[in-house]
Structure formats: C-alpha cells, structure tokens
Structure 1
C-alpha cells in the first residue's frame, strides 16, 4: 500500500501526536509494600508502633511517604506530626510503615498485630509505604 504525500504528512502528524500524548502520561511506579512477619511466628507481623516526630508542625511540615525506600521515589502520601504508624520492615535509613487512613480507620484495623507463619508483603486494608526512619520515634515494641 502506497501513501500519497498529503496522506503521509497527515499520518506522520497523527503518529507524532499519539506518541506525545502517550509520553505525557507517565506510568506510576508500583509501591513496594513493606514485608511483615520478619520477626517470626512468635512476634507480631509488625513488631512496633511509632509516632511521626522531628518535624516542625507550625511550618506545616509533613512526613513524605514514598513508594520505595529512597529519596527519589514517588511520594504517595504525607503524614502530620504525631501520626501513629506500624513499624514493619527497615531498610537502612528507611522505615517501612503501615498506617490507617480515613475517618473510620484506626491503627488496630491494619491487621498486623498478630503473628504470621512466614514473612510476606503487606496486603491489608491500611495504607503503607516508606519514610525516613529519623522522623519516626518508637512508641511501643
């Protein structure tokens, strides 16, 4: 099949338009869920509870929750000072957390306060992600 000069220009313009629109919508990177149950079947799936701390609430500082345990990973949420979170997997200077989100969800709803036979990625009803560990103080665990 041969495309005429005018048709080929139209085809090229359409192809360029489509490729531009595809790249204008970046694909979101998947969130790496923290592993739970790392302490074994004798411990809770997430063995500690922490509180967001070390930020300046008067300045409106919020703790960024990221999709991966690194500074350039996508920000998936932000947490205010004093927010309680479950402490699950640690990765160097990063802490994998699980936390309730929404008006009717509480820390106990996250299903990580009982043991697991084997470690697994978190798949419960609460939110999860990675934060810089220096901004979370241990409350219990």
Structure 2
C-alpha cells in the first residue's frame, strides 16, 4: 500500500516542479540559425533610473542589417536577424559599448506595445511582450 501512495505523490511533485519552471521562449525568439544558444543573458531595462524611460534610446539598424544574439559575444548562437532601418530600443550596454541589449517589435507589430518608453521603478530583466537580444556596437544609428 505504501508504494501505491508514493507513486502518485512523486508524479504530483514532478508536475508541481514543472509548473514552476520558466516557460520556453516564444517561437519568435528561436535561433535563426541552427544550434542551441551557448548561453543567454536577458536584457536589463531601467538601467538609467526610475525617472527615465526603461530603455534610453530608439535607434535604427544601419544599412546591411545585423544579427541579434542570445548574449553578448560572437560565440553565441544567432536568435534573429534585423534588416537595415529596423527600429530598436537600446536598453543596456555591455563590454564598453561593444554590445547593446535591445528590445524590438516583430515585423508588422506596433513598437509602442513593447512598453519600454515608460519608466520602471527598479532595474529588471525585460520579460516581453516584444523580442529582445544583443547586437554588436556600431550596428545602429543612435537616435534614428
């Protein structure tokens, strides 16, 4: 009788732990190229303080476009590609401005829905609803 009770308890425990884990990233955050990300580093918003917008600058990708990575560093898997002229919000800089953490809307989606033009009280990871990632410094026209 002990084993019959233990098995459902184990199954419920596993189900509870699974429900608490973070959901998989949405399909539009999937890598554009084959391979799993080596590591991810979420983009932080609110880095300029609670009196300024969550992301400091709206910029445009320079002609030729750019790859969007899961984390700063070219050894990471590419998660998306942005065409030249695409609007992005710069939220965070890393490695002496060699990399920018960005938030961007899906094609055909209103960029204002990303919610990064409003202030946030504390620095935190960007949780959506738009896409996020890392681009190389020098691939955007600031304030574009």
Instruction: Please point out which of 77, 98, 101 is paired with 2:106.
Output: 101
Unaligned runs of 5+ in 2: 1-34
Q: Which has the larger radius of gyration?
A: 1
Q: Which residue of 2 aligns with 1:13?
A: none
1:1-141 equivalences under 5 Å are 28-29=37-38, 31-53=40-62, 55=63, 61-91=64-94, 92=96, 93-103=98-108, 105-139=109-143
Deviations 1:78-129 (A, max 9, x none): 00000000000100300000000043x2210101111111100100200000
Q: Is the 8 A contact 2:39 2:76 kept in 1?
A: no
CA-based RMSD: 1.8
- Give how far 1:33 is off: 1.6
Q: TM-score, normalised by structure 2?
A: 0.70
Residue 113 of structure 1 aligns to a residue whose secondary structure is coil
Maintained 8 Å contact 2:67/2:82: yes
CA–CA separation in structure 2 for the residues paired with 1:28 and 1:135: 21
Partner of 2:7: none
Deviation at 1:27, TM superposition (A): 5.2
Instruction: Give aligned pairs, total.
Output: 109
